Amino acid sequence: MTPQEQLDAAYAVCRGIAAEHGKSYFLATRLLTPDRRPAVHALYAAARVADDIVDVGADLPGRDPEGELLTWSKAALAEVEAGWSEDPVRLALVHTVRRYDIPLEHFIDFLAAMTSDLDVTGYADLDALDRYMWGSASVIGLQVLPVLGTARGVSREEAAPHAIALGEAFQLTNFLRDVGEDVDRGRVYLPEDLMAAHGVTREQLEAKRFDDRFRQLMREMVDVVRRRYDDAAPGTPMLAPESRDCVRAATDLYGGILGAIERADYRVLDQRVTVSKPRRAAVFARRLTAAQVARARLRTRRPAPAG
C-alpha cells in the first residue's frame, strides 16, 4: 500500500472502533463535516485502546497491563515525534495530532491517568476525582477542541474551560452509569465523603445492594453532573458553526443517560442504563437539519474560485 492508502486504512480501523464501542459519540460525529470526522474517530480509538489495556488486561491471567500500557505509550509518543507508525490506531493518532497541532502534553496527562487506574481504587472527595479527571476527561475535551474549530474571533483559550467542563460531564455520566461494572473491577468513582454522608459503603456497592441511601447518593451526583453540563453550555456557540450540532447531539445523548438513570430509579448496580435506539435516532434527526443548514451557510460564505 502507498502511505496514503495506509493512512486511509488506519482511519477506517479507528472508525470501526468508534462505531462499535462509542455508539452515542459515533452518531454525533456523523454531524461533523467529512474532513473532521476521521480525526475525532482517531482520538476516540486511541483513548479506547489505552483504556482497554488497563481494563481488559487486568481481567486476563498472564497479562501485564502496566507493562503493556508503558510500551504502547512510549511507542505512541515516539511515533508522534517521528511522524509515522505501523500500528493503524497510532498512525491515525500521529496524523491527527500533527495536522491539528494538538499539544503532546494532553496525551501524556491522559496516559498518566490510565496508569493510575492500575493502582488507585477510590477518591476521597470530588476535588480528588477532579484531579483524576484532568487526565481522563478534561484533556480529551482539549484534544477535540482544535478538530472542532472555533468561531471567528474566538481563541482556543477562550473556549477551553467549556471544553474541559464537557469532557468532565461526559466522564461523570459514565461513572454514574457504570457504578456496578467499575466496582467489579475494584474501582469506585463516587466520592468517598459523599458516600459516607449518605451512609453508603464500598461493601454495599460490591454486594450490589440497592436501597434509599444509594438512591439519595445518586440523586445528588446527578445534580453535580448536570451542573458540569451547565458549565459547558456557553462553549458550544464558541465553536465553528459547522461543528456545533455534533456537540449539541453528543450533549443531548449523553445528558439523556442521566434521565435514563432517573427513570430507572437509580438502579445502576446490577444493570447498564442506556439511551434507547429511537431516542438516539430522534436526536440525530433533529440535529441533522441544523447541521446541513450550517454547512450550506459555510459554502455560501466561501469565495468563488478564481478564473
CATH of 1-102, one of 3.40.50.1860, 3.40.50.620, 1.10.600.10, 2.10.240.10: 1.10.600.10
Rounded (5°) CA angle 29-12-19: 45
**Topology given in CATH for the domain delimited by 120-293:** Farnesyl Diphosphate Synthase (1.10.600)
Instruction: Using alpha carbons, select from 179, 173, 256, 182 the residue that is nearest to residue 210.
Output: 179
pLDDT at 307: 39
Q: Where are the alpha helices (DSSP H) in the chain?
A: 3-21, 23-29, 37-59, 65-82, 88-100, 104-116, 126-133, 139-148, 156-177, 179-184, 192-197, 202-207, 212-232, 244-263, 277-301
pLDDT at 305: 42
**Domain chopping of the chain, boundaries:** 1-102, 120-293
Helix 139-148 to helix 104-116 angle (10° resolution) is: 150
Beta bridge partner(s), residue 150: 239
Single-letter amino acid, residue 52: D
pLDDT at 58: 57
pLDDT at 57: 57
Intrachain domains 1-102 and 120-293 with the same fold: yes
CA distance 281 to 178: 23
Give pLDDT tens digits along the chain (307 positions).
899 999 999 999 999 999 999 888 899 999 999 999 999 999 999 999 999 999 875 566 778 999 999 999 999 999 999 999 999 999 999 999 999 999 999 999 999 999 999 999 999 999 999 999 999 999 999 999 999 999 999 999 999 999 999 999 999 999 999 999 999 999 999 999 999 999 999 999 999 999 999 999 999 999 999 999 999 999 999 999 999 999 999 999 999 999 999 999 999 999 999 888 888 888 888 887 777 777 777 666 655 444 3
Q: For residue 273, which phi and psi values (nearest 5 degrees)?
A: -85, 135
CA distance 37 to 220: 35
Hey, CA dihedral for 174, 176, 180, 184, is it positive or negative? Answer: positive
CB-count exposure of residue 68 (10 Å: 0-12, 13-18, 19+): middle
pLDDT at 6: 97
pLDDT at 303: 53
* Single pTM value for the model: 0.92
